[in-house]
Chain A
Amino acid sequence: MKRLFILMAVLSAVCVQAGAQSLDYITFRSADGTERSVSIDGLRITFADGQLSATNNEESFSTPLSALSTMFFAEAPTAIRAVATADAHLSYSNGLLSVSAPQGEIVSVYGADGRLVLQHVKQADGEECIPLSVLRGVYVIKMNGETTKLMVR
């Protein structure tokens, strides 16, 4: 009985470790910080005409190889999307973060090291320009339940 208990304890520790390493996604990171994750189930990656194409059991997507920085296994899909230049809710230019959101929405800006750089509560509905004087780098903006990556050049 004692031997069985010890065996269970050892094997449980092994399984906890194994379970913690269930890397079910591959995340593709572009040079501008954009990330896209896909499930590994049925995943097949091919290269042609300067493009990477990834297809799995659920979806397909392509991206230019020249824009790719790295890819890596992940336990969960990335929740970070890049700031689109035509994003209606968020943009940054000349030290001003332009945010379109309801009054009372909290806008939080974090540095790449996780440090809170700015937190602002929307004073009114619609678009508002928030002064954001920061150095070049990558920042994460949390607002309205979404997380967005911002590259300041």
Chain B
Amino acid sequence: MKKTIFLLAIFGLVGHLSAQTLKVHCGQVTTTIPAVQAGDMAYSDGGTVLTIMNNVFAVNAIDSITVDRSEYKASEVRVNYAGSTAHVTVSGDVAPHMAITASAADVSVVADALLQSEVVYELTGTSADGSFFMEGEYKATLVLNNLTLTNQRGAAVDIQNGKRIKVQLPDGTTTALVDGAGGTHKACFFVNGHPEFCGGGALVLTGNTKHAFSSDEYTLIEPGFGSITVNKAVGDGLNIEQYFRMQGGSISIKGVQGDGIDVKVTNDPLDEENGNIFIEAGSIDLTVSADDVKGIKCDNAMTITGGSITALVSGLGTKGISTGTDLIISQTGTTPTLVSMDVTGTTYMPGDALLESKCRGIKVKGNFTFDGGTIDISATGAKTKAISVDGSYTYISGSINCAVDANM
């Protein structure tokens, strides 16, 4: 085994020494070209135009061309933020399909519809006033690699690409995103498509205008994921359309003036699992203290089959969990299911026919089925209830230490 590893290291070194990469530097953007694919780099129009691998450069826009022995990586856009500026490095194979603008620390990448391959966008560095905007027609990967980014004027990260967006937080990294107050944007970190979170790193969000995070389609948190922490949001911590599925990782939300996690139906009735939440593993830790808000809210059904939800719920009319239709709590597989809440508070807008709202640990507008796991809810305060069910309550198995107020 030792001999194998030694040989691999030697051959890897030889391979590395053989690589050559040409770099065309134009302002804040560098295009990389692998030497083995460069071919004839043609000058035309009297030497005013240089074409390399379908990348057309105006020669007078080129600051310099350098060559080094670094390894070329295809299909990548790397943005490094450094204070009041940002530098973009784009691979030559995808650069012809990208409109990249970088002004101070604001970076915009718009990929045209002809780009039909996945690009990895990696963001690193630090800026107290910068942003990243991306638009495209094909699925992509967004790597947040020890990025600390504040945008005083809008969303810190705005992904308008409506496809699958793999959001990767590499192990051991921490990314912190903050937006500015008084803006018109929807969230500090926004994804128009469907984000899938992976990697063992940490993401910390602050939403000073509205939500900390928002997606216009489903959000998935994969097994082995690290953490999302919301320190503050004027709106919701996580505002999600279509559905939310959590298969691992941890979410911690506090300091929100809206809901902790809010899952809404989309306008398309054909969208699958519309308005549903699935908690399969991982942990959710919520502190909700504003009036008439919910720790976790969904327009349709919520299904918990593993993992833990822990909530401190206070405030008038506030609810730990609120479902638009049914709630199913069970325990499948090896991951224990735990729902633990400490609920204190009274009624919001008492006597108001439309707005009156009472404090609940769990509020189910449909039916509640409990088949495994542990429910531990402490509810105190006038007219406060641990669990309130508009429909029927079915107990099959599990441990529960509070009353369930159901109609059937």
Q: With A23-B35, A70-B42 as known contacts, state yes or no: A50 contacts B14, CB within 8 Å.
A: no
> How many A-B residue contacts, CB cutoff 8 Å?
82
User: Nearest residue in A to B42 (C-beta to C-beta)?
Assistant: A70
- Cα–Cα, bound, A15→B60 (Å): 39
In-complex Cβ contact of B11 among A3, A4, A14 (8 A): A14
Q: With A7-B7, A40-B20, A45-B65 as known contacts, state yes or no: A19 contacts B14, CB within 8 Å.
A: yes
Across the interface, which residues of B come within 8 angstroms of A121, CB to CB? none
A60: Cβ under 8 A from any B Cβ: no
B403: Cβ under 8 A from any A Cβ: no
In-complex Cβ contact of B14 among A7, A18, A40, A45 (8 A): A18
In-complex Cβ contact of B65 among A3, A19, A44 (8 A): A44
Across the interface, which residues of B come within 8 angstroms of A44, CB to CB? 64-66
B59: Cβ under 8 A from any A Cβ: yes
User: Nearest residue in A to B24 (C-beta to C-beta)?
Assistant: A45
B47: Cβ under 8 A from any A Cβ: yes
1/0 per residue A33-51: CB within 8 Å of B? Answer: 0000000100111110010
B133: Cβ under 8 A from any A Cβ: no
- Cα–Cα, bound, A46→B66 (Å): 9
Say whether B43 contacts A18, CB under 8 Å: no
Across the interface, which residues of A come within 8 angstroms of B48, CB to CB? 65
B355: Cβ under 8 A from any A Cβ: no
User: Nearest residue in B to A12 (C-beta to C-beta)?
Assistant: B11
Q: With A19-B14, A26-B67, A44-B65 as known contacts, state yes or no: A11 contacts B43, CB within 8 Å.
A: no
B residues 166-186 with Cβ under 8 Å of A? none
- Listed residue (A3, A23, A72) with the most chain B CB atoms within 10 angstroms of its CB: A23
B residues 200-240 with Cβ under 8 Å of A? none
Across the interface, which residues of A come within 8 angstroms of B333, CB to CB? none
Say whether A68 contacts B67, CB under 8 Å: no
- Cα–Cα, bound, A102→B371 (Å): 104
A126: Cβ under 8 A from any B Cβ: no
- Cα–Cα, bound, A8→B7 (Å): 8
In-complex Cβ contact of A72 among B7, B40, B47, B68 (8 A): B40
Which residues of A approach B to under 8 Å, CB–CB? 3-4, 7-8, 11-12, 14-15, 18-19, 21-24, 26, 40, 43-47, 50, 52, 64-73
The list of the 6 closest CB pairs from A to B, nearest first, reads A65-B47, A45-B65, A18-B18, A11-B11, A40-B67, A68-B43
A/B interface sample: 25 pairs, CB < 8 A: A4-B4, A7-B4, A11-B11, A12-B11, A14-B11, A15-B11, A19-B14, A19-B18, A40-B67, A47-B60, A47-B62, A64-B47, A65-B46, A66-B46, A67-B47, A68-B43, A69-B43, A70-B40, A71-B40, A71-B43, A72-B40, A73-B20, A73-B22, A73-B36, A73-B38
